[in-house]
Amino acid sequence: MSTTEEAPGTEWHGAVPGSVPTTAAAARGQVKEVLARYSAETGQVVSPEACYDVLLAVSELVTNALRHGAGLSGFRTTVANDVLRVEVADHSTTEPHTPAGRDLLTGAGGMGWPIVRAVADQVHVSAGLTGKTIVATFPLA
């Protein structure tokens, strides 16, 4: 695309269907690829701050799925209408939460979910019989 406006229905996808990253670094790599293609094809510059927020959230979501969700069962990134949508699916039906009574100064871990909720524009969790999917969105323009 040579114009700076997105054609209706145009989407940039971050992974070949069925390809699920095995590490947070691999997931960040897929997101970086999508953002680079989006910028190149639309002429939109994604701010460094937006990139930091997205990559931080992806790291937390994927790490939590690997650590607490019995592994990733799906991962997808899509950009449409200047919004990045990240979908992370795992094998646990337990919804993410922050442990009650968490001492942030002395406790280890437990910050991933609050971080994701703080940096994403919207976060939605849908649980099924065999796992859950978390969808986080991030405005790019």
pLDDT of the chain, 141 residues: tens digit per residue? 333 343 444 576 665 555 799 999 999 999 999 999 999 989 999 999 999 999 999 999 999 999 999 999 999 999 999 999 999 999 999 999 877 666 666 666 678 899 999 999 999 999 999 999 999 999 998
In the prediction, which pLDDT does 19 show?
A: 77
- CATH code of the domain made up of 13-96+111-139: 3.30.565.10
Under a CB-based contact definition with an 8 Å cutoff, are residues 86 and 31 in contact? Answer: yes
In the prediction, which pLDDT does 15 show?
A: 56
Domain ranges, ordered by start, for the chain: 13-96+111-139
Q: Which of 16, 77, 74 is nearest to 46 (CA)?
A: 77
Euclidean distance between CA atoms 8 and 56, whole angstroms: 29
In the prediction, which pLDDT does 101 show?
A: 65
Q: What is the pTM of this model?
A: 0.86
In the prediction, which pLDDT does 5 show?
A: 41
Under a CB-based contact definition with an 8 Å cutoff, are residues 101 and 31 in contact? Answer: no
Q: Which residues in 15-29 are b (16+ Cβ under 10 Å) and which e?
A: beeeebbeebeebbe
In the prediction, which pLDDT does 13 show?
A: 67
In the prediction, which pLDDT does 34 show?
A: 92
At 111, list the tokens.
């910050």
Residue 105: is it exposed, middle or buried by C-beta count within 10 angstroms (0-12/13-18/19+)?
exposed
In the prediction, which pLDDT does 107 show?
A: 64
